Structure formats: C-alpha cells, structure tokens
Structure 1
C-alpha cells in the first residue's frame, strides 16, 4: 500500500510549494531558515493527511492510511524511532507536540464522509481541528510563547474560505444551505475577531496567521494569482493586520 507520494529524497519545500502554495508563500516571511523548514514540514504533514480521502476508493482504506500517520506519531511518543519517511522524520525533528500531530490525523477521518456538515457547530469544529490546528502549531513553532488562542479566528476565516473553494470543485462539506453571501459574512465576522485577537500574537509568529488576509478575496468568485497573493500576504505581515 502506498501511504505517501514522497520518497527518501523528497524536497519538502518543493512539495509544499506545489501542493499548498498559500502556506508556502506565507512561510517565505519566516526569516529564520530552521524555523521556516520546520513550518514547511508541518504543512507537508497536513497535506499528507488532507490528500488521503481523495486518494482512496473506500472509507476503510482511508482509515488505514490515516491510522498509519497517527500511529507513526504514537510510536515516537512511546519512545520508538521515527518511521523512515521524510515528512514523519521532519515533523518529529521539529519538536511539534506528538499528541497534537496524532490528533490532526484523527480529525481527518471526518474527510472520509463526503456528506455536508449539518450545522455551524460541526463546521467550525472541523475547521478548528484541521486549519486551526495547523495555524496554531505553526505559530507555536515560530514563537513558543505565542498565545495559541490568538490565531483561532484567523484560522476559522482561512478554513471557511478553503471549504468554500472545495465546494466550487464539487467537494462540498459546508452545510448545503449556506450561500456564498453567508460564507463571506461568517468570514467577515471571523476576521473582525481576528484583528483583535492577533494583537496578542508575537511578531515572529505572525506569518502563521497571515493566510487569513486571503480569505475574503478567495470567496469573491475569482481565483487569486500568485502576485496578488504575495501582495496580500506582504501587506498583512508588514501591518500585522488581516
């Protein structure tokens, strides 16, 4: 069984640049090269989990693959050596909390059910456990003193935008009665909260949250180009606002 498309010589930075360009571009604002590589490793880990549902023909196979990732973290927590996989080795070397990484894998079991979420509560719980977990862990890596609650609303804004984009390509998990206007309204509410919360985030950790600056534009009915994405991220990092 193939667990991952990566091999022993995989360049995780190049992988993330191709498969998760928003997060990769945001990582370019991390000045410290080691911290940047560690954040990219987290983004590669997130990609490996997120791609499982689309790469299997049935839920059982998806459960097996996600269990592989969760158990890889559990083994290290139990004192075993990391499995010989570039992404596993990289996130372990980065020092991320292994329980949090295992919980990220567990949360992705939800992806194996293609049905839309029933309500806002289910939707936000999913966003918090996926996009929220990624943003919190990346903020923690960039500054371990970060108040992780400071990125909660920013992650919700970006996560909701991501779910809207998936809906546009036929992978709708948002509640079926949510319109584009309603999604954008919820994103606007999250961003309003984020602007207050992010004041507590250390400057060094801000690149983790800068993605929220893309959320409204990404739900406006057009695709952002690389230059506009770069410009929006640059403005966010320079001003500390999303």
Structure 2
C-alpha cells in the first residue's frame, strides 16, 4: 500500500498555512532550513491522511504504512516518495533517525474517529506524539534541546482550529493558550525563532480567529518575533 504523492496541489487554505510556515522556516539558521521544511512536509502528509479518509480502518492502514516507511529509512534507501526522499536527504544527516519520527504516527492515530469523545488523554497523546516529536526533531537539527513542550502547545492550538464540536474546541484552545503563554513569556533564542514563530502564529489563531492565515497582521507579528524573540 502506498500513499498519495505530496506534490498534489493543496487547497487554498492549506496553501496559506504553508506559505506562513515557509516564512517561519526562514528565521531558522540556513543549515537547518531544508530539514525543517521537510519535517513540516511530513506533518502535512500525515494530516492529509485524516483529512481525506472517511473510514478509520483505511486511515489506520495508511498510517501504518507511514510508520513502517519511516522506520525503514534507517536501514534502506528511501522509496520513490518525495517526502521520504526529502527526509532522507536533509533530516537524517542531521542526526534525526526515521525511528525518531515514527512516533508521530501515534499522534495522528489518536484522532482516528472511533465514535468516542476526544478526551484529554487522546488530546495529550496527539500533542506529545505529533507536536512534541516534530519540534524536538527540528530542535535536534538546530542543536537545541527542550523544544518539545513548545510543539505540544502548537499542536493543541492547531487541533483546536479543526474540531467541529464547539465545547471541545473551546476546551482545547483554552489549554493551548495557557501552555503557549507560559512558554512564550520568555524571549526566544535566535536559533529557535523559526519554531517559536510557528507557536506565535498558532497563538494568533486562537487570539484572533478572524485573522486567517495570510492576514497581514499575522505576517507582521511573525516578523516582529523573528527580529526580537518576543
């Protein structure tokens, strides 16, 4: 079983998010930008599985394929998939193994619709395995530790934007704001401002839901953070 190619044109809303993320990547040191972008590509690829799958069993099969494909990167050449090839070229040489990335799959599995409520345990599992692993992996490329909690807050904030139930969305968003406000209270060191910039954008989505990705005020806020770390 193979997955859809990452080269497919994304919807306009996703394109706007990707453009913002590209701006944030630009604040990372040049040596880490390609790997940073490749890891975001992986995150988009995994997100697309849930967005395009209506049957949980099919979604589980596709996620399992990705888990195995990521683990195999440590011992086999990357298959002919652009995301996996990009990871092999720009992430693995930075000391991040495919096995380090495979737990991201568990974060997305936590959201597979099984008819049960999205409780705090599943939300935490998603945030830790998706955002925590993603940000820790970028942090390793940057030579920086302690970036996982920032990723967990980012993942919760992003999840809050995609939950249809209002009460659940409000609960997740409130928890994400608490996390992000606490972590972003201190000035971000220059090497991690690409990562913290993503968190700034996620917090902006919660504070100003009327400002969609691509809004000039969001770009201005990201630029200020990139310059000052605040």
TM-score normalised per structure 2: 0.81
Establish whether residue 212 from structure 1 lines up as the match of residue 225 from structure 2: no
Contact 1:27/1:36, CA 8 A, preserved across alignment: yes
Establish whether residue 133 from structure 1 lines up as the match of residue 133 from structure 2: yes
> How far does residue 104 in structure 1 lie from its aligned partner after superposition?
1.0
Unaligned runs of 5+ in 1: none
Correspondence for 2:175:
186
Distance in 2 (CA, whole Å) between partners of 1:179 and 1:56 is 21
Unaligned runs of 5+ in 2: none
Correspondence for 1:108:
108
CA RMSD of aligned residues (A): 2.9
| Secondary structure of the corresponding residue to residue 82 of structure 1 | coil
Count of aligned pairs: 220
Q: 1:237 to 1:151 in 2, by over 3 A?
A: farther
TM-score normalised per structure 1: 0.77
Distance in 1 (CA, whole Å) between partners of 2:113 and 2:16 is 26
Q: Which of 193, 210, 214 is 1:222 aligned to?
A: 210
Distance in 2 (CA, whole Å) between partners of 1:39 and 1:166 is 23
Contact 1:217/1:224, CA 8 A, preserved across alignment: no
Correspondence for 1:56:
53
Contact 1:19/1:47, CA 8 A, preserved across alignment: no
Matches within 5 A, 1:7-46: 20-32=18-30, 34-46=31-43
Distance in 2 (CA, whole Å) between partners of 1:97 and 1:193 is 30
Distance in 1 (CA, whole Å) between partners of 2:197 and 2:84 is 26
> How far does residue 30 in structure 1 lie from its aligned partner after superposition?
3.0
> How far does residue 58 in structure 1 lie from its aligned partner after superposition?
1.2
Correspondence for 1:160:
156
> How far does residue 130 in structure 1 lie from its aligned partner after superposition?
1.1
Distance in 2 (CA, whole Å) between partners of 1:66 and 1:53 is 9
Which stretch shows the higher mean deviation, 54-63 or 212-221?
212-221
Deviations 1:27-47 (A, max 9, x none): 122351x52222111111111
